[in-house]
Amino acid sequence: MSIFKPVTVVTGASVGIGAALARVFAGNGHEVALVARREKEMVLLANELAVSCKYKPHVITADLQRSDAPARIAHELLGRGLEPAIVVNNAGFGLHGEAADLDRGEQLAMLDLNVRALTDLSLRWIDGIVKHQGGILNVASVAGFLPGPGMAVYYASKAYVLNFTKLWERDWGGYLQVNWGYHPGHVVGLRVDNVGGDLGDPEDPALDSRLRVSPVLTWFPTEFSKLRLQYNFDQGDALPRDEHSLWLQMEFLLGAHAAHKF
């Protein structure tokens, strides 16, 4: 039996998404540790939650851009008899502008926070998280799914968060896709996805095995646009019956092109 009490650590918890997540966890009976640079805002939030929640949140002031911040947070938690069961990595920021024009030091500081600190805090308390059957919540962004003009380093940092976090999933899967360009500007294809969750949570139906078969018809009116029609047949253990859906996608490309710029 551990002598330390489990706690949910929320970074970037002074305002915005971090504060909202802290409210959710505290409202559901979790003992929460708020971590951010702005102490005043965290104290106000802790006092607010102390009135309506089971526990008054702990306040830890730290600048996660500093390389020693995770160790200082760990030392502070240890001194309070706390052991992270859940880690919410929400702290982060972005810079707008061409990477070549932005200050290099500021961009590296962004990576220190968005990537290095997140990785450190994700790995630092693994044994305790497993022992308490807790988890890690890394706040990414839609920016993680594609490159972003004018925010190259930020988008790259969120792509790291997305892919790093996927490694912790216990789901598995794969897909096969075959395309045939039967006529200039026209492509037909067939995609088969098969995923399984036998290593996941048996109480979570979303992790059950499932199969999707998708015939696809794509038309490229120009080199900068496409129209895709896709039919999906879904079969899965968690589905009450076979599911059918139809997708229509329109895409227009703007900006740099592989062959030239316009």
Q: Is residue 258's pLDDT more than 60? A: no
| Cα–Cα distance measured from residue 209 to residue 236, given in angstroms and rounded to the nearest whole number | 6
The values of phi and psi at residue 217, to 5°, are: -125, 125
Residue 40 clears pLDDT 50, i.e. is over it: yes
- pLDDT bucket at 64, cuts 50 / 70 / 90: very high
Could you give the 3-state DSSP secondary structure of residue 43? helix
Average pLDDT over residues 105-134: 94
Tokens of 39: 């102490």
Stronger pLDDT, 121 or 254, i.e. the higher one: 121
Tell me the pLDDT of the chain averaged across its residues. Answer: 86
User: pTM (2 decimals)?
Assistant: 0.66
- For residue 73, pLDDT over 90 is answered with yes
> Which of 222, 217, 229 lies closest to 254 in space, CA to CA?
222
Gap between the terminal Cα atoms of the chain: 65
b vs e for 92-112, b when ≥16 Cβ sit within 10 Å of the residue's Cβ? beebeeeeeebeeeebebbbb
What number of residues does the chain have? 262
**pLDDT of amino acid 259:** 43
pLDDT recorded at residue 204? 54
* pLDDT over 70 (residue 38): yes
The more confidently predicted of residues 63 and 2 is 63
Question: pLDDT-based confidence at 82, cuts 50/70/90?
Answer: very high
DSSP 114: I
Helices 104-111 and 152-166 sit at what angle, rounded to 10 degrees?
20
Task: State yes or no: pLDDT of 217 exceeds 70.
Answer: yes
pLDDT of residue 42 exceeding 90, the answer is yes
Residues marked as catalytic? 154
pLDDT at 1 over 70: no
CA distance 84 to 213: 42
pLDDT > 70 in the chain, percent: 85
| Res. 252 pLDDT band, cuts 50 70 90 | confident
Averaged over 38-50, what is the pLDDT?
96
Domain extent listing, the chain: 5-166, 172-252
> What pLDDT shows up at residue 220?
85
**Least-confidence region, from 4-18, 73-87, 217-231:** 217-231
Residue 190: is its pLDDT beyond 60?
Answer: yes
Give residue-wise pLDDT tens across range 137-187.
999 888 888 888 889 999 999 999 988 887 666 555 565 667 777 678 888
Which of the following CATH numbers is that of domain 5-166: 3.20.20.70, 3.40.50.720, 3.90.950.10, 1.10.3720.10?
3.40.50.720
Closest Cα partner for 194 from 178, 179, 173?
173
Q: Is there a contact between 18 and 41 (Cβ–Cβ < 8 Å)?
A: no
